[in-house]
Amino acid sequence: MEKRYLGKNKLEVSAIGLGCMGFTQSYPPYPDRKESIAVIRKAVELGVTFFDTAEVYSVYQNEELVGEALKPFRGEVVIATKFGYDIGGNAVDAYNRPMGLSSRPETIRKAVEGSLRRLRVDHIDLYYQHRVDPDTPIEVVADTVASLMKEGKVLNWGLSEAAPSTVRRAHAVCPLTAVQSEYSMWYRNPEAELLPVLEELGIGFVPFSPLGKAMLTGRFDKDTKFDASDFRSSIPRFQDENLRHNLELVDYVRELAERKGTTPARIALGWLLAQKPWIVPIPGTKRVERIEENIGGADVVFSPEELAEIRRKLDSITIVGARYPEDQERLTGK
């Protein structure tokens, strides 16, 4: 697969990565451990070298899974994980995730040791602050991570769902390699302010949910109902009238796919890759056939005229409903 580079340090990764959260959290049913490991290892065989996890996903279980699955490929793959929660208290949400943000230096140091152990590595390739902690200045966070980098425990660092002003402040203390935030044809807010700042500073961008939590694959229709255990059941833009309205975008992506002789998922991923050479999406899936489909997005080519036409059409479509439940949305863009 084509390779891309994140940040001025030129962290080399596959043009399309794999978001691993769904193996253990948010999108049931979950495969058993043996099957999950086989899928992750098959992704490596198919050319994926960039894998995303976090300590908070299923509280350590996802990191443990990724660590075991990728153990045979040390030095061949890049593993990104995240810190930023005070794990150990009793406050958890419906998905058993700790609710309390914390990026205090002592919390980060405790987190990194746990992640190193669970991932079975002696350093973390890319270490994100999962969400900005309003009680810890980002300069303190950056300085703490800089110390971990000097110790060789972290090679690169990044932020997730951070505001452009926070990105600037963090980067001034310890240069960032990447910022991870939601971005797709379904959610384009980063285009206004975040992407220009990343381009100016030479920071890579890693869009999560590049397929709109599967919306852009065309899997859902006006009658789709999500089980209460599925994270999408709590997201406003997936509910009732909002979902029915938002199918306009799905229909357009399907039309593009038919025109180009490919699939909607590949159209959505190819479009993201066409925006900037330093964008690396990380679609999540638990199935080998979906990984095969997704990596084919790197082969989709758009002419300048096609990209201009797509942008005009996207500008004309209004997506209805928030992308997160209110309690999660307020943690973003800080």
**Lookup result for tokens 């025109």:** 259
Closest-CA residue to 128 (of 75, 90, 84): 84
Burial 86-116 (b: 16+ CB within 10 A, else e): bbeeeeeeeeebbeebbbeeebbebbbeebb
Active site residue 187: no
Enumerate residues 6+ apart whose C-beta is below 8 A from 235: 213, 321, 322, 323, 324, 325
**DSSP for residue 157:** E
d(C-alpha 312, C-alpha 198), whole Å: 24
- Among candidate residues 66, 83, 158, the one with its CA nearest the CA of residue 120: 66
| Most distant CA pair in the chain, distance | 54
Q: Phi, psi at residue 91, to the nearest 5°?
A: -80, 110
Contact at 8 Å (CB) between 114 and 60?
A: yes
Which residue among 5, 27, 30, 57 is the active-site one?
57
Rg of the chain in Å (alpha carbons):
19
Helix ranges (DSSP H) in the chain? 33-45, 61-70, 105-119, 138-150, 164-173, 194-201, 240-260, 264-275, 288-295, 304-316, 326-329
How many Cβ atoms are within 10 Å of 326's Cβ, its own excluded? 9
Which position has the token pair 């908070």?
Answer: 56
CB-based burial of residue 265 (10 Å sphere; 0-12 exposed, 13-18 middle, 19+ buried)? buried
Active-site residues, by number, are: 57
